[in-house]
Amino acid sequence: MVVKAAASLELVQETPYRWRIERQGAMRVPGVVFTTRELLPDLSADQSLAQVAAVATLPGVVEAVYAMPDVHWGYGFPIGGVAATDVDRGGVVSPGGVGFDISCGVRLLLADLHLDRLRPRLTALMDALADAIPRGMGRGAVWRPRGTAELEGILAGGARYAVERGHGEPADLDRCEDRGALADADPGAVGARARERGLEQVGSLGSGNHFLEVEAVTEVYDERIAQTYGLWPGRVCVMIHTGSRGLGHQICTDFVRRMETAMDRYGISVPDRQLACAPVSSAEGGAYMGAMAAAANYGRANRQLLGQATRHAFDRAVGHGDLTVLYDVSHNLAKIETHGSRRLCVHRKGATLALPPGHEDLPPDLRPVGQPVLVPGSMGAGSYVLAGVPDSPAFASACHGAGRRLSRHQAVKTTTAARLRAELQAAGIVVRGASARGLTEETPEAYKDVDAVVDACEGAGLARKVARLAPVGVVKG
């Protein structure tokens, strides 16, 4: 089947879950979209597929530019986009391929507690979480670094540094991507304004689509993997979704400007200034990679701190604060990885790393079954835990969420805060902390159907379903 995607783009359906954008014009590789016909973006309003084609023009790009089932329009790269460049053949890194919220990601905590035991204390727990979790666009955080030295420690050491300072347990790091810190972080590449913003926000949730959600396992699809992960029906879980806050935003802003002015020196032209880039091996590329890694470490420390604050809230409200980490993984990052014989800079923007069984970067207890892939749905709709699979396409990547269908401006026109709160309450979901506008911007109507997105992800061979989680309480900014 051939679908006209735009004036100059044609989508060719290869399988029920895979579509191809043929090379044309300046494209160096094709585009590949993992989706169903029903989940395709609204081509009259969403430019994400044109963005896939634009990314395919970047120097050094290899294989294909991939779009996940939750793809939608973003800054430069589409959200849900994956692209790799060959570092040793002039491959570039683009801040737009990571996004403003560097290392935005998800942590899933497991309580040794059945939902039936939590229900009588759920309101008290949500009140305790509302008190314990700083959120919103302003200041306020679990930990205010005391000057430059502590901030440097966070930027260099990430979640590891937070644990060293008493915020968590060493075992937490075994279940974190890169054991909680990227080794190639360069705090010296982080500008003064980014540092200033970072001092105020480490250990805070933020606003927008960031959240802390208390959930329970409702369905198990793969008993063997679920047993390894520790997921059983009724088990209480906590999902934390946040990133590097204003520090990461500032780093992206600074380096887009810097790379815009540098491209001429390297003979690079791009179809959209939001794709500003530089060779990974250049001074600008190296500085961005170092600053981005420092922001990623900040994001990981952020989730570590919020996880520890969650334990304290559970202890106070329920008398049960012994929560364990299932996994913590980013979905906005560029990493140097080896694929075959090539050293690649893999951009994942709104896409989750999904390591297969046997991968050396997994902890020994997870290695036989593959990496947990954490996929939050829209507010009130539930979330999924998937697992990485062997021989997956797209450089071992998977979807990162439901994927926005409506802009925030459009979303607020579809409902009211009072109506949405009533609907969530009727569904047994306790909401804390959301402003009226913040709540309506995140209405479930603004997102794709997460069940359909996950089914497409599995159908495309990107990951496999392990368990579904249903929300019972949510804290939002």
**Which residues are known to be catalytic?**
400
Closest-CA residue to 162 (of 143, 184, 138, 141): 143
Whether 52 contacts 443, CB under 8 Å: no
**Which residues are registered as beta bridge partners of 332?**
349
Strands (E), 164-244: 211-220, 235-242
Closest-CA residue to 66 (of 461, 455, 404): 461
Distance of CA 461 to the CA centre of its chain: 20
Sequence letter at residue 391: D
Q: What is the CA radius of gyration of the chain?
A: 21
Closest-CA residue to 415 (of 439, 449, 382, 380): 439
Q: Is 365 in a helix, a strand, or coil?
A: coil
Whether 374 contacts 329, CB under 8 Å: yes
* Tokens standing for residue 285: 């590329």
Whether 370 contacts 388, CB under 8 Å: yes
Whether 401 contacts 381, CB under 8 Å: no
Residues 234-245: b if buried by 16+ CB within 10 A, e if exposed: ebbbbbbbbbbb
